[in-house]
Amino acid sequence: MAIVQNPVTGRTRKKLGNVVFSKSFGKNTMRSKAESVKNPKTPGQVNQRSKFALMVSTSRVLLGMIRISFQNMAKGKSAFNAFMQTNIKTAIIGTPGNYSIDWAALIMAKGPLFQSQNFVAGNDLAGKVKRTWTPPYNPLDISNNDKLYTATYNETKNEWAYSESATIRSIGTDEQSVPSAWTGDSVHVYSFFISPDGKQCSDSVYSGTVVVS
């Protein structure tokens, strides 16, 4: 595939003969059209497709979050592709024909901001998932103003609750509201921070499971 960027072609798109022009991540590209498409079904390729399909079924409901949580990894690729590549390698367990997701290994965010220590999940109040962490020791630390982003997964109901919180890093605690229908269910708890301008994030932390009271 060639990258085409000159005054003659400009923002070229679509086909010309057997050449296909498109725009990808801000660059014009040119490639030849395939005369035939192979669909190999070796065991390795079938297994990889199974893993891909499993991860897609999880990620498609998280697209709004992934655009934020993997934006720093989207170099020459989309944030969605960065999420997929990261988690297919680390978060899928099992044997061919019987794959599943290891929720403790699922990475919800990757980025350059440092992650606070000692994240703990709790259920002190009805309908809420509590998070506590160690805030920065220095009150002048610029990271004090990073915002918490919460993601909670109800495996029983196959439902997610995620959002940017109004809570900043220096507070050290947050209570995320979850659906009342989740009462009595065990949920997986994830957290990460995003910068005030929304352009950077930290790696996510998995805090285990709690039962919603």
DSSP characters over 166-208: EEEGGG-EEEEE--GGGTT-EEEEEEEEE-TTSS-BBPPEEEE
202, two tokens: 């930290």
DSSP 134: E
* Structural contact between residues 8 and 19, judged by C-beta atoms closer than 8 angstroms: no
CB atoms closer than 10 angstroms to residue 166: 9
Quick one: how far is CA 61 from the chain centroid? 10
pTM of the model: 0.81
User: Residue 70 class from Cβ within 10 Å (0-12 exposed, 13-18 middle, 19+ buried)?
Assistant: buried
Show the domains of the chain with their CATH numbers: 43-101 (no CATH), 117-211 (2.60.40.10)
CA 93/CA 58 separation, integer angstroms = 14
Per-residue pLDDT of the chain (213 residues), as tens digits, is 555 555 555 555 666 666 666 665 566 666 666 666 566 678 778 888 999 999 999 999 999 999 999 999 999 999 999 999 999 999 999 998 899 999 999 999 999 999 999 999 999 999 999 999 999 999 889 999 999 999 999 999 999 999 999 999 999 999 999 999 999 999 999 999 999 999 999 999 999 999 999
CA dist 123 and 37 (Å) reads 53
Distances from the Cα of 193 to the Cα of 53, 102, 164, angstroms? 28, 22, 9
φ, ψ of residue 26 in degrees (nearest 5): 85, 5
